[in-house]
Amino acid sequence: MEGIGGDYPARSLRILKKEGMLVSYGFQKLAAGSTLDRMLAPLGLILLRAWDWAPWLPHTSFYSIGAWHKKHFDWFREDLTALFMLLQQGYIRPTIGKVMQLEEAVKAHELLEKSSVKGKIILRLR
């Protein structure tokens, strides 16, 4: 599972066995990257998919929970339920970098764009 983007997918592919699979999601570096990074992102996605043409190399796949929500709400609900169960059981431990009020959402996005916070920013409703 790889959610950073940039040169990390290539690094991840190099350490996988032939039978392995790299599942990419999120592309955090793309959101925080430069304009050039954003322009080159489609090329990176095409190159990752082209990797699958070589049967002696690991495979790639993409996962978008948002796409499942739109296309298959039942699958989305199933995935979201499983995700929250893993979180509740402690198998997933997100790094929380900052907790802010919802009214500070603009500032939160600015912090993300500047990569000023390590981890996730939680927006509280109250």
Q: What is the pLDDT of residue 24?
A: 76
Helical H segments across the chain, by residue range:
8-15, 28-32, 35-51, 65-71, 73-88, 105-113
Q: Where are the domains of the chain?
A: 1-62, 67-93, 94-126
Query: What is the model's pTM?
Result: 0.45
Tens digit of each residue's pLDDT (9 = 90 or more) over 90-123 = 998 888 999 999 999 999 988 987 888 888 899 9
Burial class (CB in 10 A: 0-12, 13-18, 19+), 14: exposed
Q: pLDDT tens digit string along 52-94?
A: 677 777 777 777 777 767 788 888 888 889 989 999 999 988 8
Cross-strand partners of 122:
99
Cα atoms in the 13 Å half-sphere on the side-chain side of 30: 18
- Residue 116 in 3-state DSSP? coil
User: What is the distance, to the nearest Å, from the Cα of residue 48 to the centroid of all Cα atoms in its chain?
Assistant: 15
| Among candidate residues 20, 22, 14, 18, the one with its CA nearest the CA of residue 57 | 18
